Copies of this chain bind each other. A is one copy, B any other.
Amino acid sequence: MSTSKIQIIEAGRDAEAAPSQPSSAAGYKVFNRIIDWITNDRLQLLNITERINEIVRKSGIRDGIVHLQSLHTTSSVFINEWQDALLQDVKNFFEQIVQREQYYRHNDPEYSDCERKNADSHMRGMLMGQTLCLQVRNASVLLGTWQSIIFAEFDGPRSRSLAVQVSGV
């Protein structure tokens, strides 16, 4: 479940939006990347902390903001402690707070052409949010001792993309 086990490709496909030289204004810079991976389970948690720190280091930005945005409604990015026992509780929490089995119009062929029957995934993604903004200080992501950056897959297995933007000086 660690990032070392998942396949992550740093994409060059936003080449137009993110030229190899970052945008800048007399020291102020914006550094854009998109990272991709393939998830294995319907509900899966990935620790992406190290990947984000690597991008921040590459950006050359010392003080500013790193913004993360999952490009998929049925996923999320948030902070929590990365501990095996707790991660199981987190998954159970998502299954409790948003029931998969109840009636949803989005899953009903009479109202919707969605074949994935993933209304629960949409609610979980919406509740937890697809964006996360963190401070960059001293050329790395500011995090408390027990804080890890977690990507949550709510409708896997699928190919997923996360847009990372570092801005500052």
Residues of A within 8 A of B (CB): 14, 16-18, 23-28, 30, 32, 62-65, 67, 69-73, 78-81, 83-86, 88-90, 93, 97-98, 104-106, 108, 111-112, 114, 119, 122-123, 125-135, 137-138, 142-147, 161, 163, 165, 167-169
Contacts and interface: CB of A to CB of B under 8 A. Distances in A.
A65 to B, nearest CB: 6
Contact of A65 (B17, B67, B123, B144): B67
Contacts of A63: 17, 23, 30, 32, 165, 167
- Interchain residue pairs A-B with the least CB separation, the first 5: A25-B27, A71-B144, A17-B137, A26-B26, A85-B105
Contacts of A14: 137
Contact of A105 (B89, B122, B134): B89
16 contacts: A17-B63, A23-B62, A27-B28, A28-B28, A63-B165, A63-B167, A65-B165, A73-B147, A79-B129, A84-B111, A85-B114, A86-B112, A126-B128, A129-B129, A131-B134, A133-B133
